[in-house]
């Protein structure tokens, strides 16, 4: 098969990016990419550690003149978020990512691209493969499950990592140096469903929320984009007392760390009530079209016949509780930072709603750079859930990464940036989790920085990466490594 990225520079970076794009690597499915990297290291006679969580550590000796330099860790994660357009036929467990060059950008055909964080893997492989790049002793750390809980980083054996300077390549804006991030945790609300037989003579219909932009539940929460699950909750609660309907299912979103773009509810109604529901949908399209005219101009609420009727529906009590939970569970920005202008301090994203055999679940990703506020959001969720008869559980907590006043690696990055571009790099903190928080907890004396090339619309099928930015960022990284003595 001809290579799509064959003529792009830096040649070896894009060569390896295309290689790994052919290997399925959604969160929880990293064994294949982990094995591939272990084999890659062995072929080059490099020391490699592959643990039971599919984390990979690869060590490469310093080049001549750098033998006494401090060891540098190049770090990224193996997994990617697997999102696709509803019309796209793609099996993330088996199919390669279909790469497309679009001007200065690389994108995928109807799916996420996986540049988050495949570009870090490609940079690391190009460094390990090189024979003429000056660098100190290198230790490449590529972790698993970053996108859905960071279990790879959380379970990393501290003895497997020797370096105490770490360069994380998981930031998405060129010219920025990330120095702090939010911590997070997952909250799941589970409501048991009482099922009953539907009334005779009802028609099955669907209410669909479509056309939202979605995005990363941390990085893009500041953009105030619509959440399809919350929008559907508002509509269902509005209908509870105004229209007679039975509820057969509610489903929305694919990942709790992605702002959901689509959601739908299957309802059963009498034919004579359909005009009233249509009026409701027209009204909600006007209301929501006004509210989201800037952030999500493509938003549309659809109402259509669903075909075959459902054989069971929620009881009246379960229907009311499910709709109210969908509407009331906290979502969006909760607090803004008083220290850093424009930084979201804490938020929560109701990312996935799923109707199961005996329950309906509501999964949220909670984030904050202040630990106590993170737990306060969970407490609010618990109070609402318990008031409506649901069970609330929490899992996958990870720590925040606090700003360090003194950082030698940050000083090198700042100095090199000024020399190369004639201007200062932007020092930023983000409202998203990166694995640096976990590394700081494991290695209190570690000195870290995070940077990367320009990526756009990550965690969505619109994800794309700037080709020229990849080249500039690569040259920046090489210059930094040359300066670490």
Q: 117: cis peptide before it, omega within 30°?
A: yes
Give the integer Cα–Cα distance in Å for 232 and 430: 29
Strand, coil or helix: 47: strand
Catalytic residue among 79, 139, 174, 246, which?
79
363 part of the active site: no
Give the integer Cα–Cα distance in Å for 24 and 36: 11
Beta-carbon-side half-sphere exposure of residue 304 (alpha carbons within 13 Å):
9
Show Cβ contacts of residue 454 under 8 Å, excluding neighbours closer than 6 positions.
Answer: 172, 173, 174, 465, 466, 469
79 part of the active site: yes
Residues 254 and 260: beta-carbon distance below 8 Å = yes
Strand, coil or helix: 96: coil
Give the integer Cα–Cα distance in Å for 395 and 150: 11
End-to-end, the C-alpha distance of the chain in Å comes to 43
Catalytic residue among 18, 139, 145, 146, which?
146
CB atoms closer than 10 angstroms to residue 104: 13
Residues 82 and 26: beta-carbon distance below 8 Å = yes
Give the integer Cα–Cα distance in Å for 468 and 123: 14
Residues 395 and 376: beta-carbon distance below 8 Å = no
What is residue 431's DSSP assignment?
Answer: S
Residues 349 and 254: beta-carbon distance below 8 Å = no
H or E element in which residue 472 lies: helix 467-483
| Pure H helices in 370-466 | 371-387, 408-421, 436-442
The dihedrals phi and psi of 425, each to the nearest 5 degrees, come to: -70, 150
The dihedrals phi and psi of 153, each to the nearest 5 degrees, come to: -65, -40
Give the integer Cα–Cα distance in Å for 285 and 238: 13
The dihedrals phi and psi of 176, each to the nearest 5 degrees, come to: -100, 145
Show Cβ contacts of residue 166 under 8 Å, excluding neighbours closer than 6 positions.
Answer: 72, 73, 75, 141, 409, 436, 439, 446, 447, 448, 449
Catalytic residues: 79, 146
């Amino acid at each position: 098969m001809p290579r799509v990225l064959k003529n792009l520079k830096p040649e070896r970076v894009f060569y390896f990016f295309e290689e790994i794009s052919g290997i399925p690597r959604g969160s929880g499915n990293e064994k294949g990419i982990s094995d591939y990297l272990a084999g890659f290291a062995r072929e080059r006679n490099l020391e490699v550690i592959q643990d039971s969580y599919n984390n990979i550590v690869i060590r490469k000796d310093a080049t001549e003149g750098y033998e006494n330099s401090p060891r540098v860790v190049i770090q990224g994660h193996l997994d990617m978020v697997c999102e696709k357009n509803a019309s796209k036929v793609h099996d993330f467990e088996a199919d390669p990512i279909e790469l497309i060059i679009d001007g200065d950008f690389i994108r995928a055909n109807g799916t996420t691209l996986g540049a988050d964080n495949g570009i870090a893997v490609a940079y690391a492989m190009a460094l390990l493969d090189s024979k003429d790049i000056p660098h100190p002793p290198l230790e490449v750390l590529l972790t698993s499950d970053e996108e859905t809980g960071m279990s790879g980083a959380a379970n990393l054996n501290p003895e497997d990592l020797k370096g105490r300077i770490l360069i994380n390549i998981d930031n998405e804006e060129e010219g920025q140096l990330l120095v702090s991030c939010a911590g997070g945790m997952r909250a799941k609300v589970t409501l048991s469903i009482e099922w009953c037989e539907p009334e005779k003579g009802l028609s099955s219909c669907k209410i669909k929320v479509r056309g939202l932009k979605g995005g990363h539940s941390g990085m893009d929460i500041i953009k105030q984009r619509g959440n399809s699950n919350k929008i559907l909750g508002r509509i269902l609660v509005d209908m509870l007392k105004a229209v007679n309907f039975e509820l057969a299912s509610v489903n929305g979103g694919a990942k709790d760390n992605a702002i959901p773009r689509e959601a739908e509810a299957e309802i059963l109604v009498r034919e004579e009530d359909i005009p009233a529901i249509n009026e409701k949908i027209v009204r909600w399209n006007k209301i929501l079209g006004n509210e989201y005219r800037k952030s999500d101009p493509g938003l549309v609420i659809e109402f259509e016949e669903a075909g075959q009727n459902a054989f069971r529906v929620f009881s009246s009590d379960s229907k009311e509780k499910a709709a109210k939970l969908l509407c009331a569970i906290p979502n969006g920005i909760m607090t803004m930072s008083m220290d850093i202008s424009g930084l979201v301090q804490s938020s929560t994203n109701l990312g996935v709603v799923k109707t199961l055999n005996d329950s309906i679940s509501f999964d949220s990703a909670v984030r904050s750079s202040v630990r106590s506020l993170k737990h306060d959001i969970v407490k609010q969720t618990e109070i609402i859930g318990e008031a409506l008869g649901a069970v609330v559980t929490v899992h996958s907590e990870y720590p925040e990464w606090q700003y360090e006043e003194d950082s030698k690696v940050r000083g090198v990055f700042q100095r090199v940036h000024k020399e190369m571009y004639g201007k200062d790099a932007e020092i930023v903190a983000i409202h998203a989790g990166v694995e640096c928080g976990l590394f700081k907890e494991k290695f209190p004396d570690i000195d870290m920085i995070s940077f990367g090339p320009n990526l756009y619309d990550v965690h969505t099928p619109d994800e794309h990466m700037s080709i020229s930015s990849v080249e500039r960022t690569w040259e920046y990284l090489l210059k930094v490594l040359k300066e670490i003595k």
